[in-house]
Structures are given as structure tokens and as C-alpha cells.
């Protein structure tokens, strides 16, 4: 079955530590995305990648980093420079043709303790 | 600057009645508009989309209407069911851009 897998589902981090969120897809989609959801804020784009070894900043990229070494994988690192990292993080992928938009993963809830 | 706006944070309707969720946009370059449904602690799931060259698209109980001159779209759910209770996001995309821009969402509650 094709889909997007995000892991872990819940993640706790101490202040000052970096943490990496995993996102893997087997849909053969070229493009992948990271969004962040905060209460009352909707979904905000962090980074996106249209092709392997290339990625662009979204609207709120500060304090985050990504890599795209394989088509199937797009990990997101939340660095200690991110001032308010506690949020729900969503990974998505898309193919060409926009009738169906993105396919989303089930999300990772990151909590800084 | 919000390009996609959902001005109603919440909506409550009775089971069996119509739910109408509204969305406004400012970017005239958007090619496609989509609606997503989201439950807490889950990823959004695609509901229905409409191309900018159409004014209506229907799929079962869900119909999306697009008024380009007013830069407004709406999602109609008829009849509403308790299982429809979720947050609904309006989203839009410029075809060459690959980026979906989301509204802030509307929490729909369907009461039995």
C-alpha cells in the first residue's frame, strides 16, 4: 500500500537540543513538503523539495533544516535556534497534476520540555 | 499577508441539514482550489478540488462552488452527518509553483 510514513508519532525534546523528524513516501512522488500546525494558525509551510538534492525555504524556515538525498525521504531537523518548536508537524508529497493536491502523513507531535 | 482566508473559525449545524464552509482568496494566479478535512492528531485528507476554469464540482454529498470574480469559494455538505465533524481547510495552488497555501481552517460540528 502506498503512502507517507512519519515517525515518531510523539517526540519530546529538551531545550537546546536538535531533533530530526522522519518522513518516508513510497508513492513515487517528486515533491515533498513540511508543514507546521499551531492552534488557530492553520498549516504553515516550512520547507519543500521538488526534486532530489534540491529544496527551498517556505514561509517559516528559520530554525529548521532539511535534506533530500533520496526521492523517498525528506527528514526535517528542528534545531535549537527554533524559538518555539512545540507544534504538530506534517509531511506531505505530491505528483504532477493538482486535482488531488498533496498526500499527507499522520504527523509528529513535538513537545519541548 | 494571508492569501487564503477562512473567516469563520467554527460552524455548528444539525445532522441532516446543509453545512456551508466559506473561503476567500486574494491571489488571482491560483489555478486549483482544494478542500481538506482534518481530525485532531491526524494528517489532512483530501476531500474535493476545483479548477479555476470551472464554477462547480460535485462528489457525492460534497459540492464546491467557485466564484472567480468575487475570489470566493464554498464547500457545501448535504446532508451533514456527525462523522463530518472535523476541521476543514481550504487550500489553493498556482500550477507552476508546487506550493499549497492553506487557510486557517473552520471547525465544523454536526450535532445529532
| DSSP secondary structure string for all residues of B38-60 | E-TTS--EEEEEEETT-SEEEET
* Interface of chain B toward chain A, CB-CB under 8 angstroms: 6, 9, 31-32, 34, 36, 41-46, 49, 51, 89, 91, 93, 95, 98-105
User: Closest chain B residue to A105 measured between Cα atoms?
Assistant: B43
Q: Indicate yes or no: CB of B41 within 8 angstroms of CB of A88.
A: yes
Residue B26, pLDDT above cutoff 70: yes
**Average pLDDT of B82-107?**
90
CB contact under 8 A, B93 and A43: no
User: If you compute the radius of gyration of chain A from its CA atoms, what whole number of angstroms results?
Assistant: 13
**Candidates A43, A100, A107; nearest CB to B49:** A100
Task: Say if residue B79 is preceded by a cis peptide, omega within 30 of 0.
Answer: yes
Cβ atoms of residues B33 and B50 within 8 Å: yes
CA nearest to A32, candidates A13, A11, A51, A19: A51
Q: From CA B57, how far away is CA A29, in angstroms rounded?
A: 26
Note the pLDDT of residue A97.
Answer: 61
Q: Which residues of chain A have pLDDT under 70?
A: 1, 96-100
Could you give the 3-state DSSP secondary structure of residue B82? Answer: helix
pLDDT exceeds 70 at position B23? yes
Q: Which three cell numbers stand for residue B90?
A: 481550504
Cβ–Cβ gap A104/B43 under 8 Å? yes
Per-residue burial over B7-22, b if 16 or more Cβ lie within 10 Å, else e, is eeeebebeeeeebbbb
Q: What is the mean pLDDT of residues B38-43?
A: 90
Query: Cis link prior to A94 (omega < 30° from 0)?
Result: no
Q: Do A55 and A32 touch, CB atoms closer than 8 A?
A: no
Higher pLDDT, A46 or B100: A46
Rounded Cα–Cα distance for residues A46 and A92 (Å): 12
pLDDT at A10: 93
Q: How far is CA B108 from the centre of its chain?
A: 11
Average pLDDT, chain B: 94
Residues from chain B that touch A98, judged by Cβ atoms under 8 A, are 31-32, 34, 49, 93, 95
Amino acid at each position: 500500500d502506498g503512502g507517507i510514513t512519519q515517525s515518531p508519532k510523539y517526540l519530546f525534546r529538551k531545550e537546546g537540543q536538535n531533533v530530526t523528524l522522519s518522513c518516508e513516501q513510497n508513492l513515487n512522488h517528486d515533491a515533498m513538503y513540511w508543514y507546521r500546525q499551531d492552534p488557530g494558525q492553520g498549516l504553515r509551510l516550512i520547507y519543500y523539495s521538488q526534486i532530489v538534492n534540491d529544496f527551498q525555504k517556505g514561509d517559516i524556515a528559520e530554525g529548521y533544516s532539511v535534506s533530500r538525498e533520496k526521492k523517498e525521504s525528506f527528514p526535517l531537523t528542528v534545531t535549537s535556534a527554533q524559538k518555539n518548536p512545540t507544534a504538530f508537524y506534517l509531511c506531505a508529497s505530491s505528483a504532477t497534476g493538482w486535482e488531488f493536491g498533496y498526500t499527507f502523513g499522520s504527523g509528529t507531535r513535538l513537545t519541548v520540555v | 499577508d494571508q492569501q487564503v482566508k477562512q473567516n469563520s473559525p467554527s460552524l455548528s449545524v444539525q445532522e441532516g441539514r446543509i453545512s456551508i464552509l466559506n473561503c476567500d482568496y486574494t491571489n488571482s494566479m491560483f489555478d486549483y482550489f482544494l478542500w481538506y478535512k482534518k481530525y485532531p492528531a491526524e494528517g489532512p485528507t483530501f476531500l474535493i478540488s476545483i479548477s479555476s476554469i470551472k464554477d462547480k464540482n460535485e462528489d457525492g454529498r460534497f459540492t464546491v462552488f467557485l466564484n472567480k470574480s468575487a475570489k470566493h469559494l464554498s464547500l457545501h455538505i448535504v446532508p451533514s452527518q456527525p462523522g463530518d465533524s472535523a476541521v476543514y481547510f481550504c487550500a489553493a495552488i498556482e500550477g507552476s509553483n508546487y506550493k499549497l497555501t492553506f487557510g486557517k481552517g473552520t471547525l465544523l460540528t454536526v450535532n445529532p
